Structure 1
């Protein structure tokens, strides 16, 4: 769910595929990190909501702060800077489907975002570099003269690869080739006959076993 909200927020912020991929990769790597101390949610002392509502509000704000921090850091790393205010509002809109109007909630979420950004950078070892597969993917598709529907689906699969820790650890060139292979398999008969040459991945320097393993990792993103 967090990755879904992240992609929606990235679209609202008009980020490139590369920046969106980086943010999603950060979120994948950050998922196992302990959260920093968070400001108390506004509902914590509410009589109406009780402890259960307060816990739900805390969880929602925790998720929003993680997503926002990953987007905010990716914007900087990919040289597509966005204001913290815009990131907070985009994440809230993605999660709730409505504009954030409460000023106290806004300031609390902005503070939480900045705290999480520091925690994220520590989790990354202050090495925020990410190597998205997109440039290689587009070059491969151009070289293969792939039809438009294959290009569109392969790019979407490459974007989703960042949601898998296994995919994030693999070479960008392998993920690019696997995205093409998986897209071709999913489209099947919808593709023009012979649109891809036999064993095309060999020309890209990939082995069939490695390609199959990477495709399995990509499929796990959707099966999970």
Structure 2
């Protein structure tokens, strides 16, 4: 059965305790830190992309819903946060291009992890991989949501209720800030937005704004006192936590928007070469050791000469193998050049053939046009001749009639 309502996204405390991340061995503190870190990325990226607050709120809710069904060990928090921003911008009708989202997250990663600010080449292989990963993660999110991405935020309830009570603007601003901070927690998947709104209003009671008590004001929003107290407790615990940092728990390795992973791999190769030596030296070293053993055991000059001859032969064979490998590597270059020449020749032949066909077609068109012009000119000449003859005939007949009239009717 497919549910189109948003009630199926609310979870109980027991379900949150048995989340997929917890089953993969991630403790509660680490999961909470990663949730806060991902929401911080969504909020900051939305500001850099100049998106409205509704986009960031929707992205954070989608982020929490996704990790209620999938584990942090399978999906890295950075790429899920980027995909949530990209998807939420389209849901809230403020779309941004994937290129813009990737550039912003690349910049935030460099700044947060104290990496050198590097230029992200849009034509590089790294950018193409990031773009594919962004689309793939968005499809995973939509599939887990069942393509039902409707989100109801508590902001509208707070605005309407506080406007009705004619509260001061300071209280409204603090309530708005608390509502934004509540999206960093799992309150959006535990309680309805009305209950979260009531908890936020109750949390800003230090402004001492009178609220109805009989009946209790929260009854109008279908909330209870226990839910309001839990919202206040979660918000107080959120403000007691230190700033969230990235923790690598993904089984597939660290996901990065920059090229630091590839740089580290390139830097690790020379160290291994320096420590372990080249393969040729590894081959020669056992032989040298064997010669030392033979020298110590025999101690004769003939054995020493034989060992030195073997070393020279091994070095010669290594040099020959290296030269053969170098020649084998150099061989494909002329072949590639020859292939390029053949391709250019084929393209030139095709171009010449096409030009010859065009010239042939043009000549045919010209011959047809000349024939048509000859027919038209003959017809015009014939019509011109006939018209002149008709004119001569009419003029001659007219002159003969005038002569007859003057002949029979003479004027005295």
TM-score band (shorter)? 0.7 to 0.9
Moved more, 126-135 or 13-22: 13-22
Shift of 1:148: 1.9
2:17 maps to 1:3: no
Distance 1:20 1:158, change over 3 A: same
Shift of 1:182: 1.5
CA distance in 2, matches of 1:92, 1:140: 40
Q: Secondary structure of the equivalent of 1:163?
A: coil
Could you report, residue by residue, the CA deviation over 1:122-175 in whole angstroms, capped at 9, with x for unpaired residues? 121221111111111111121122222221121122122222224333111111
Is contact 2:55-2:92 (8 Å) kept? yes
CA distance in 1, matches of 2:142, 2:185: 19
Q: Secondary structure of the equivalent of 1:72?
A: helix
2:179 maps to 1:139: no
Indicate the structure whose relative CO is greater, using CA pairs within 8 Å and at least 6 residues apart: 1
User: Any stretches of 5+ residues in structure 1 without a counterpart?
Assistant: 39-61
Matched residue count: 194
Could you tell me the TM-score, scaled by structure 1's length?
0.75
Moved more, 126-135 or 158-167: 158-167
Shift of 1:79: 1.7
Aligned counterparts, 1:140-219, within 5 A: 140-184=161-205, 188=206, 191=207, 194-199=208-213, 200-219=217-236
CA distance in 1, matches of 2:174, 2:73: 37
Shift of 1:205: 4.6
Determine which of 58, 61, 71 is the counterpart of 1:22: 58
Is contact 1:22-1:162 (8 Å) kept? no
Determine which of 87, 93, 99 is the counterpart of 1:79: 93
- Tell me the equivalent position of 1:101: 120
Q: Secondary structure of the equivalent of 1:132?
A: coil
User: Any stretches of 5+ residues in structure 2 without a counterpart?
Assistant: 1-36, 112-116, 242-412
Distance 1:115 1:36, change over 3 A: farther
Could you tell me the TM-score, scaled by structure 2's length?
0.43
Shift of 1:69: 0.4
CA distance in 2, matches of 1:37, 1:182: 36
What's the C-alpha RMSD, in Å, of the aligned pairs? 2.6
Look at both structures and tell me which one has the larger radius of gyration over its CA atoms: 2
Determine which of 70, 77, 81 is the counterpart of 1:63: 77
Is contact 1:69-1:113 (8 Å) kept? yes
- Tell me the equivalent position of 2:133: 112
